[in-house]
Amino acid sequence: MNLAELARKTREFADQRDWRPYHNPKNLVMAMSVEMAELLEHYQWLTPDEAANLPVDTTSLVAQEMADVMLYMLRLADEVGLDLEAAILHKMQLNAQKYPALPR
C-alpha cells in the first residue's frame, strides 16, 4: 500500500466518525506534536545504547506512537492537498544534492 492509499484510508476512517471538521491543519499539526511528545517520552533519559535496544513491550508502544504521528501526517497532507510521497522523494533529492554521498 502506498502513501496515497493510506491517506485515503485515514480520510475514510475520519469521515466514518465525522471527525473531518476537527481535522483542520492547525489541529492536525498540534495533535502530531502531542504524539511526537508521547514518542519522545519513551526515549527520555535513556543512554544511546538503551535507546537502540528497547525492551519488546516498549518497542510495541513506540510503534503505536510512531503510527499515531504518521496517521496525523497523512491526514494533514490530505487536508492540504499535498502529495506526501512526491514531497518525500523531492526532499530526498534535495538532501542528496546538499549532502553528497561519501566516496567509497
Query: What's residue 1's pLDDT?
Result: 86
Q: What is the CA radius of gyration of the chain?
A: 17
pLDDT in tens, 65-78: 999 999 999 999 99
pLDDT in tens, 32-85: 999 999 999 999 999 999 999 999 999 999 999 999 999 999 999 999 999 999
**Per-residue confidence band for 87, with pLDDT thresholds at 50, 70 and 90:** very high
Q: How many CA atoms lie within 13 A of 91 on its CB side?
A: 6
CA 47 to chain CA mean position, Å: 24
